[in-house]
Amino acid sequence: MPDRLTPASLLASYHAHHQPRERWLIGGEYERALVRGDGSAVGYHEADGIAWLLRGLRDRLGWAEKHEGEHLIELRGEGASITLEPGGQVELSGAPMRTLAALAAEVTRNRKVLYELVEGHDLHWIAAGLTPYARIEDIAFMPKGRYAMMQQFLPQYGDLAHWMMKGTCCVQVNLDFDSEEDCAQKFHASLDLAPLNVAAFANSPLGEGRELGWMSYRGHIWSRVDPRRTGFPAAVSRQYSHAAWVDYLLDTPMMFHYHGGRWRPSEGRTFRYWMTEGIEGQFPTLEDWALHQTSVFPEVRVKRTIEIRSADAVPLDLSVAFCALWTGTLYGALAETRDFATAFTAANGGRTREEGFAYASLLGLAGDWGGRPLAAWASELGAIAQRGLAAIGEDVSLLDPFLAVAESGDSPAARLLSAFRIDPSPQNVLRAAAY
């Protein structure tokens, strides 16, 4: 029988994640929505629905399948995976790459395959933080056991939980750290800059066929899910340490656990309780711990890597620029980025972190932050990223789409709003939101 997990063994696992600088990699994750020409959602079981799509990807890519019961739910190959979010959003979790050029090539190849598969069908790939037309209640949940647990659990603690699960899409970047101190510095820099991140990549002003009044309604949605597992965790927001992060995870109530081949509700018990008292005679394994880590959703999450999560889904070139932004700032110019993040936080005008994030979600780059437009802050951060990318020998031009957004002063959401106001038909808006 393997040794039982302890807080000390879990803490040791985080120290084991340290990577020397010469081995640092970059990973991108990209959620995309597939919709019909009228903006409605695509179900799992439809003739050309999500299951059909996964089978097509399997046949073209030759990747290994993962099933849950009779349902195909995941593909894995080439160090990457393709998975389903609760409402049928399709996510590419890219392989860890040495360079941004390799990262860009991977996601570009993936997009090509996605478009080839839907050619000739009334199917459209969009990159937006929220599906713009489908009614949330009309979107069916994907047949995954953990989503059945979440479907019941999360609405008890947040009235927009189903909006988050079934309607939202994001882009995420995963970066390495070489020590606890390095992790803490990157964690705090990216957490402090979460409002700027959500403003610059805000791309969810529409939902259920109407304007919602927010540039990133997705950012607002996340504030109304479950505050114990989202946003800015008090336990680590001011002073990150691996021990504090482990304690945060241990004491966050579990939504579910997997036992006896079945997904089971955890009834509010914590991982710490499971680890010390057991549940039905079972004690958790490292696989259970890895699963639990995926059930918290702060704006910055630490697992084997630092995951920066604040950005809405955006078109491919801007998704790559998002990865370039954080690679340049955290890999190539961390000290300068930390100083910038400190100044940005000091200019917050007395708002709490949550209030600042909500303000940036509401107004995007048009907002004012310490007497300066958020767009000006974004341009300054972009310049830091340029210097950082040059310092580590990366292709600085991959940052250009972000720099163009900052210079324009408009979040990507402004383009969707403009298209909607000129012609609110789904056909027009879906073209503007095309992935």
In the chain, the amino acid numbered 127 is A
| Residue 416 exposure: Cα atoms within 13 Å on the Cβ side | 35
Q: Has residue 261 been placed in a domain?
A: no
Q: CA 237, CA 231: separation in Å to the nearest integer? A: 10
Q: CA 331, CA 352: separation in Å to the nearest integer? A: 28
Residue 76's H or E segment, with its range, is strand 71-77
Q: Has residue 370 been placed in a domain?
A: yes
- Tell me the pLDDT band of 258, cut-offs 50, 70 and 90: very high
**91 pLDDT exceeds 70?**
yes
Q: CA 173, CA 411: separation in Å to the nearest integer? A: 19
Q: Has residue 269 been placed in a domain?
A: no
Q: What is the pLDDT of residue 2?
A: 66
What count of other Cβ atoms lies within 10 Å of the Cβ of residue 186?
26
Q: Has residue 392 been placed in a domain?
A: yes
Q: What is the pLDDT of residue 393?
A: 98
pLDDT in tens, 180-194: 999 999 999 999 999
**Predicted TM-score of the model (pTM):** 0.97
Residue 121 makes CB contacts below 8 A (sequence gap 6+) with 48
Q: Has residue 266 been placed in a domain?
A: no
Domain count, the chain: 1
Residue 169 makes CB contacts below 8 A (sequence gap 6+) with 31, 32, 33, 85, 89, 127, 128, 129, 130, 131, 218, 312, 313
| Residue 379 exposure: Cα atoms within 13 Å on the Cβ side | 12
Q: Has residue 286 been placed in a domain?
A: no
Strand pairing class (206-207; 210-211): antiparallel
Q: CA 230, CA 296: separation in Å to the nearest integer? A: 6
pLDDT in tens, 342-393: 999 999 988 999 999 999 999 999 999 999 999 999 999 999 999 999 999 9
Residue 206 sits in which domain range?
7-252+296-432
pLDDT in tens, 32-75: 999 999 999 999 999 999 999 999 999 999 999 999 999 999 99
Q: Quick check: helix, strand or coil at residue 349?
A: coil
| Residue 42 exposure: Cα atoms within 13 Å on the Cβ side | 26
Average pLDDT of the chain is 97
Q: Specify the DSSP class assigned to residue 329.
A: I
Q: Has residue 285 been placed in a domain?
A: no
Q: What is the pLDDT of residue 260?
A: 85
Across 232-241, average pLDDT: 93
pLDDT in tens, 287-333: 999 999 999 999 999 999 999 999 999 999 999 999 999 999 999 99
What count of other Cβ atoms lies within 10 Å of the Cβ of residue 118?
16
- Nearest one of 232, 315, 236, 262 to 30, comparing CA atoms: 315
User: Do residues 53 and 93 make contact, with C-beta atoms less than 8 angstroms apart?
Assistant: no
- Nearest one of 226, 245, 337 to 300, comparing CA atoms: 245
The maximal CA–CA distance of the chain, rounded, in angstroms, is 65
Across 76-90, average pLDDT: 98
Q: Has residue 206 been placed in a domain?
A: yes
**277 pLDDT exceeds 70?**
yes
- Tell me the pLDDT band of 399, cut-offs 50, 70 and 90: very high
Strand pairing class (256-259; 230-231): unpaired
pLDDT in tens, 139-149: 999 999 999 99
Q: What is the pLDDT of residue 318?
A: 98
Q: Quick check: helix, strand or coil at residue 154?
A: helix
User: Do residues 129 and 204 make contact, with C-beta atoms less than 8 angstroms apart?
Assistant: yes
Residue 318 makes CB contacts below 8 A (sequence gap 6+) with 201, 401, 402, 405, 412
CATH code of residue 210: 3.30.590.20
Q: What percent of the chain lies above the pLDDT cut of 70?
A: 100
